[in-house]
Amino acid sequence: MFKPAFRLFSNPRQSSVVGRLTRMNMLVSAAALVTACAAFFGYDLASFRTAIVEGLSTQAQIAASNTVTALLFNDPQSAVNTLAALKVSPSIVYSGILLPDGRVFAEYRQRAGTVRPQFPAMPPAQAEAHWLGHNRAVLAHAIVFQGRRLGTIWIESDLDRVNNRLKHYAGIAGIVLIGSLLAALLVAPIFQGAIAAPIVALARTAQEISRSKDYSARAAPRQSEGEISVLVESFNEMLAQIQSRDAELRQAHGEMERRVLERTAELGAANKELEAFSYSVSHDLRAPLRQIDGFSAILMDQCAAELSPDARRYLQRVRDRAHHMGHLVDDLLSMGRIGRQVVRRRDTDINELISGIQSDLAPECEGRRIEWRIANLPQISCDPGLAKIVFMNLLSNALKYSRDREVAVIEVGHLAGENAPVFFVRDNGAGFDMRYADKLFGVFQRLHRSDEFEGTGVGLATVQRVVQKHGGHIWAEAQLEKGATFFFTFTPGRPRAKEDSKIPAVEVLREA
């Protein structure tokens, strides 16, 4: 019986509701008993001390009236004999009569070695005064005859009776307290059956349901009325709602799976149609374009002398548009192939990749002053072929849009990101208006006129698709006539701010 009691108080946070109720019952009982005992002790101590003072006062008055004659006739021995009668009270340790001039007229000592105490000064206007200390009580009473003060009798008493009484009461209180706690511990099962047992059963039911996921189970209803019965009924109603929603969720999940299968089949059919369309574009559409370009070239070569300048200009525009449409078809087919291509990651040296792209772009750099600022770029895990497409498009755009600058500055660097480095390509070219940045990565979306800068409007859409296939993001910042900066990562992550960054990495465009 005692081991469970000790366990209740060993770790209160881990005890069950049964232990908490038992502990609460015992603590309440103990607090009530301690309060009652403290009140009783305080009252009894005050009453007992008052009785001691009253007893000393009575003895002092008797001794004072019996020593008046001795004081009048200056008979100290008679006064000593009178004071000696105080030995019947074992608590009085000293008594003495002091004359008005402070001399001791007569004394009584309980033991021969008792030292005369240092009495406090008695107020002259009072006929009697007392002082209570920790271990003693002192009372002074004036000896008055016919209005004349003959002297003062002092009586000192120990408080051994009070201390013994307190010890006796403390022992009784301890026995009562232990008995009450044991009684509370024995009564605890009654409260457990009435209050704790239903709560424990409800908790076990909830734990079993949580483990088995069987929401058809119910807690046993209570016949009695009260908060516990309401709690059980509410718990069962909640289980019924969860069971109903779980059934609806399972039905919706099955319907969703069916729809996913249907959409997958439709997507597969659409992909096949797209592949057929791509094949048709690559063969059927290219052939007419080649014929248009070829016949236009023959017409210009053989009939140039017979054609007017306007006619030759129109034929040249036909050839230019045919070439442009051919490049557009090639870009669309390339973007389609990238969408179907599987990403094969491996450790890639980006600096080596950039060096190869610079060699490929050498013809576009002829006759121009270009300042390349290539940082020491880290190795990353990516598909090197797809990564080359990203850097090729961005560097080619940087060259194209900075060709009107006397010195084109093209910078490639990286920033620290949360999960991976953030690469950027920056130029000092034409830039663009940030109000139209949401159109930047759309197919056929161009922020400059075709007569200013050539292009099909597919390159940046291809770059975004490659970056997204790597699980990353791409965004841009720019100012008109001050250049543009493209940021991208090959894994999920946002950049951290860097003090040496010329343009802060503020995300403009997230995943489509």
Pairwise CA distance, residues 71 & 146, whole Å: 13
Q: Check whether residue 234 and residue 176 sit in a common domain.
A: no
Looking at the fold, whether 395 and 305 belong to one and the same domain comes out as: no
CA distance 188 to 197: 12
Strand partners, 477: 485
Work out the average pLDDT over 477-497.
Answer: 76
Pairing, β 408-415 against β 370-374: parallel
Give me the mean pLDDT over the 7-22 stretch. Answer: 55
Domain of residue 358, CATH code: 3.30.565.10
Tens digit of pLDDT for each residue in 26-40?
787 778 778 887 887
Domain containing 350: what range? 344-488
Any domain includes 495 = no
Q: How confident is the model at residue 372 (pLDDT cuts 50, 70, 90)?
A: very high
Per-residue pLDDT tens for 311-340?
777 777 777 666 656 665 665 566 566 656
d(CA 4, CA 61): 62
Question: Among 187, 212, 237, which residue terminates a domain?
Answer: 212
Confidence of residue 498 (pLDDT cuts 50, 70, 90): very low
> What are the Cα distances from residue 33, in Å, to 102, 159, 169, 261, 413?
51, 27, 13, 74, 79
> Mean of the pLDDT values across residues 196-205?
73
502 in any annotated domain: no
Mean pLDDT (whole number) for 301-314: 75
Can you give the pLDDT at residue 376?
92
Does 32 fall in a domain? yes
Q: For residue 60, what pLDDT is reported?
A: 85
pLDDT digits (tens, 9 = 90+) for 62-77: 888 888 888 888 888 8
Asked whether residue 184 falls in the same domain as residue 303, the answer is no
Domain with residue 13: its CATH number is: 3.30.450.20
Q: What are phi and psi for residue 361, nearest 5 degrees? A: -90, 5
Say if residue 253 is in the same domain as residue 385: no
Where helices occur in 369-458 by DSSP H, the ranges are 384-401
Final residue in a domain of this structure, among 292, 310, 340? 340
Instruction: Check residues 347 and 449 and name the one with the higher pLDDT.
Output: 347
Closest CA to 49 of 128, 113, 139, 119: 139
Contacting residues for 9 by C-beta, under 8 A, at least 6 apart: 23
Say how many CA atoms lie within 13 Å of 384 toward its Cβ.
12
Buried b (16+ CB within 10 A) or exposed e, 187-220: ebeebbeebbebbeebeebeeebeeeeebeeebe
More confidently predicted of 165 and 263: 263
For position 183, what pLDDT does the model report?
A: 76
How far apart, in whole angstroms, are the C-alpha atoms of residue 203 and residue 186?
24
Is 411 strand, coil or helix?
strand
Q: Is residue 510 part of a domain?
A: no
What mean pLDDT is predicted for residues 92-119? 82
**Predicted local confidence at residue 45, as pLDDT:** 77
- So what's the pLDDT on residue 165? 76
The tens digit of pLDDT for each residue in 422-455 reads 999 999 988 888 887 777 776 555 555 555 555 5
Domain membership of residue 273 (yes or no) is yes
Average pLDDT for the chain = 76
Q: What pLDDT was estimated at residue 326?
A: 63
166 and 124 housed in the same domain: yes
Report how far residue 325's alpha carbon sits from residue 321's, in angstroms, rounded to the nearest whole number.
6
Claim to verify: residue 448 and residue 311 sit in the same structural domain? no
More confident residue, 481 or 4: 481
Assess whether 312 and 191 both reside in one domain. no
Question: Would you state the pLDDT for residue 423?
Answer: 93
Q: pTM value?
A: 0.40
- 71: number of Cβ within 10 Å: 20
What order do you get walking across the sheet with 136-145 strand by strand?
Answer: 104-109, 92-98, 148-158, 136-145, 128-132
Tell whether 285 and 416 lie within a shared domain.
no
Q: What pLDDT, on a 0 to 100 scale, did the predictor assign at position 426?
A: 94
The total number of structural domains in the chain stands at 3
Indicate whether 231 and 190 sit together in one domain. Answer: no
Indicate whether 66 and 196 sit together in one domain: yes
pLDDT for the residue numbered 412: 93
- Cross-strand bridge partners of residue 347: 381
Indicate if the pLDDT at residue 503 is higher than 60: no
Which pLDDT score is estimated for 495?
Answer: 46
293 vs 55: which has the higher pLDDT: 55
pLDDT band at residue 486, thresholds of 50, 70 and 90? very high
Percent of the chain with pLDDT over 70: 75
Q: Which amino acid is at 162?
A: V
Question: What would the pLDDT profile of 239-257 be if each residue is shown by its tens digit?
Answer: 788 878 878 888 888 888 8
For residue 48, being part of any structural domain is answered with: yes
The per-residue pLDDT for range 156-175, each reduced to its tens digit, is 888 877 778 777 878 888 88
pLDDT for the residue numbered 9: 46
Report the pLDDT value the prediction gives residue 21, as an integer from 0 to 100.
66
Residue 451 lies in a domain: yes
Looking at residue 411, what is its pLDDT?
93
Identify the weakest region by mean pLDDT among 138-147, 153-162, 207-216, 419-428. 207-216
225 contacts 238 by C-beta, under 8 angstroms: no
Quick one: 355 and 312 in the same domain? no
Residues 263, 309, single domain; the answer is yes
- Residue closest to 296 by CA, chosen among 282, 313, 308, 310: 313
509 inside domain:
no
Work out the average pLDDT over 284-307. 71
